[in-house]
Amino acid sequence: MLYQLSYVRLGRRLYRRRRNNPGDDIGDRESDAMAQNDLHETAKALVAEGKGILAADESTGTIKKRFDSIGLESTEDTRRAYRELLFTTPRVEEYISGVILYDETIRQSASDGTPFPRLLASKGIIPGIKVDLGAKPLALSEGETLPSDYCIWSNAHALARYAALCEEARIVPIVEPEVLMDGTHTIEQSYHVTSRVLKALYTELYDQRVDVEGTLLKPNMVLSGYDAAERAGAEEVAEWTLKCFYKHVPAAVPGIVFLSGGQSDEDATANLNAMNAKGPHPWQLSFSYGRALQAPALKAWGGKPENVEAAQHAYYHRAKMNSAARSGLYAPELEREAVTA
């Protein structure tokens, strides 16, 4: 409601000023056009050829689970040290265009005092921020977690309002309509549910006047349920995912930056590669991975300062593999680089 009230007040101020000074309309239109162009250019830069996004936006609770896996206590200092390890990895900007930060992280600095957003920008990496505080129960849904029409359209509307507010603030929204892949469902069922979600999303984005050329889509891939008896391979994943996205995602969208969900590091890379091998496509097909980029680095680091270089090498390697997948040039044999380098 606060956002809505702020929007109405802004609109009224502009309306009164324009009535009193009609000539100001020209300047306003030029300013609006410049802002729109900035959004378009930023969105394109985030999906530049061979590059993708690091999702370093784990909540405090989520990163605690990650640290528990290596026997490390999650404190503000250990979280800062880990993020610094990632952000200062030499030459990673060759493959990483942007980093999504958590609220705590965007306020932190490297050990030399450089704020993380400035550190990233100095490497040509665009900093962003996660704005939601996690999933909440859907009102009047009796604990529903299945994708009913009520659930789908409620979330699509919320995502569209978020995107509109971002664009109003001249920030590129990364719109994330994730369909969870937990369960025993088939890839065909995943396709139908993902299709319903994307149809609702783009209907709402249009209704909320969102300029989709200034957005990025961060969806799930169309996969078999993680507990399915028979799981589809990379070629089948690529076929079903592309079929779904060609049907529902406008060509004006600059890029689709897939989330990795619960996929293994190499599966997330192989599936992205299979899709790009079938290109070219109307949109850039890229990645916005969290765990699938970080897991090897976290394991190599183990919370020990003497392991920072090894951890950075592991992160750089995964970024490089996903860069290769962006052009359909990834092959499992390339994974040996991580061992021999």
Hey, which residues are catalytic here? Answer: 176, 218
**Local structure of residue 55 (DSSP, 8 states):** E
Residue 70 C-beta-side C-alpha neighbours within 13 Å? 21
Rounded Cα distance between 205 and 201, Å, is 6
Residue where the block lists tokens 């109003």: 168
Amino acid identity, position 37: N
As given in the structure block, the two tokens for residue 182 are 């937990």
Rounded Cα distance between 294 and 224, Å, is 24
Residues 6 or more apart in contact with residue 128 via CB below 8 angstroms: 53, 98, 99, 100, 101, 171, 172, 174
CA–chain centroid gap for 1, Å, is 26
Rounded Cα distance between 133 and 163, Å, is 16
User: What pairs with residue 127 in β-bridges?
Assistant: 99
User: What pairs with residue 256 in β-bridges?
Assistant: 217, 285
